[in-house]
Amino acid sequence: MEISIGKTKLKTITGDITTQSTDAIVNAANSGLMGGGGVDGAIHRAGGTAILEDCKKIIAKIGRLPTGEAVITTAGNMPSKHVIHTAGPVWHGGGQNEEKKLKNCYAESLKVAMDNGLKTIAFPSVSTGIYGYPVNRASDAAVEAVIDFIKKNPGALFEQVIFCGFDSNTEKEYARALKERI
């Protein structure tokens, strides 16, 4: 599934984000930035120790990465050039500002990408694994946040933003969310 917003293509795929050859892939990290399970573990395994070294330097400076914010590191041995790490919200039922926090993850990741002049970026389905955010709601929030950012930042040079589901059901939800906003 693919749609265009101005000069930017928004695309959904099913697959392993660590194999994407984009300028950046996004990591659904946690505030400690020391690696973990799910996509975080896969990214650190595929990229090698250079990613953790960069993360340690960042943590030495900022202490912890607040939920909804994003930082950039090398992608180490992966085909992408950078990893943008964002800390998603844990799902508590929807009453604890989870939607706003999740949207911030996407907006802040795109801001970091824009500030670094990046053109292609792939997102996993942030917060919908271990953090328990329902994928139908997460896809709506993600797609809204990305479209909103692109419309508000015409100076960004994004050519392609990819929503990378790990399974076809996740991709379907992102495709539905995109179609509803054409």
Give the catalytic positions in this structure. Answer: 40
Q: How far is CA 159 from CA 20, 74, 78, in A?
A: 15, 21, 20
Residues near ligand ADP (CB under 6 A), total: 20
Binding of ligand ADP by 22 (CB under 6 A): no
Give CA 124 to chain center in angstroms.
Answer: 5
Stretch that binds ligand ADP, among 61-69, 119-127, 144-152, 174-182 (CB under 6 A): 119-127
The Cα 89–Cα 103 span in angstroms is 10
Smallest distance from ligand ADP to CB 10, Å: 17
Among residues 87 and 156, whose Cβ is nearest to ligand ADP?
87
Binding mask 76-115 for ligand ADP (x = CB under 6 A): ------------x---------------------------
Among 10, 28, 83, 114, interactor with ligand ADP by CB under 6 A? 28
Per-residue DSSP letter, 112: H
Among residues 48 and 153, whose Cβ is nearest to ligand ADP?
48
The Cα 74–Cα 133 span in angstroms is 28
Q: Would you list the DSSP string of 9-41?
A: EEEEEES-GGG--SSEEEEEE-TT-S--SHHHH
Stretch that binds ligand ADP, among 74-82, 111-119, 120-128, 146-154 (CB under 6 A): 120-128
Among 23, 40, 69, 108, interactor with ligand ADP by CB under 6 A? 40
| Cβ-contact 17, 122 below 8 angstroms | yes
**How many alpha carbons lie under 13 Å from residue 55 in its C-beta half-sphere?**
29
Binding of ligand ADP by 131 (CB under 6 A): yes
The Cα 119–Cα 147 span in angstroms is 15
Among 76, 123, 124, 163, interactor with ligand ADP by CB under 6 A? 124
Binding-site ranges for ligand ADP (CB under 6 A): 16-18, 28, 38-40, 42, 88, 124-131, 164, 166, 170
